[in-house]
Amino acid sequence: MKLFVWVHDRTFHSWSMIDEPCLHTSMYGKATAMVLAETEEQAISLLVEKDEGWRQEDLQQLRPRVFDLHSPSVVYHDIQSL
């Protein structure tokens, strides 16, 4: 089993980023999805099946961080500067 993590920040989105992926149908500032699955395809399917606005084509475009749950690793850390 693996943990797939997508994080996408649109806080400072501008017209120059028009081709940038949009992971969710809402007008989000920052979107995060964490899914336990065997494969990336399965993780995306699980998100999309929830029918809560996750966009399959853009999730496929933006590579997630992948954590193997059989070995120790840092799963999350966050620093936000002012």
Separation in Å, CA 52 to CA 12, 13, 33, 47, 57:
24, 22, 12, 8, 15
Distance between CA 62 and CA 71 in Å, rounded? 24
What percent of the chain stands above pLDDT 70?
A: 85
Residue spans of the domains in the chain: they are: 2-68
Of 35 and 30, the structure prediction assigns the larger pLDDT to 35
Please give the pLDDT value at position 11: 65
Please give the pLDDT value at position 26: 78
Find, among 1, 52, 2, 17, the residue nearest to 31 by Cα: 52
pLDDT in tens, 3-13: 999 988 766 65
pLDDT over threshold 80, residue 21? no
Burial class (CB in 10 A: 0-12, 13-18, 19+), 78: exposed
pLDDT in tens, 32-63: 999 999 999 999 999 999 999 999 998 999 89
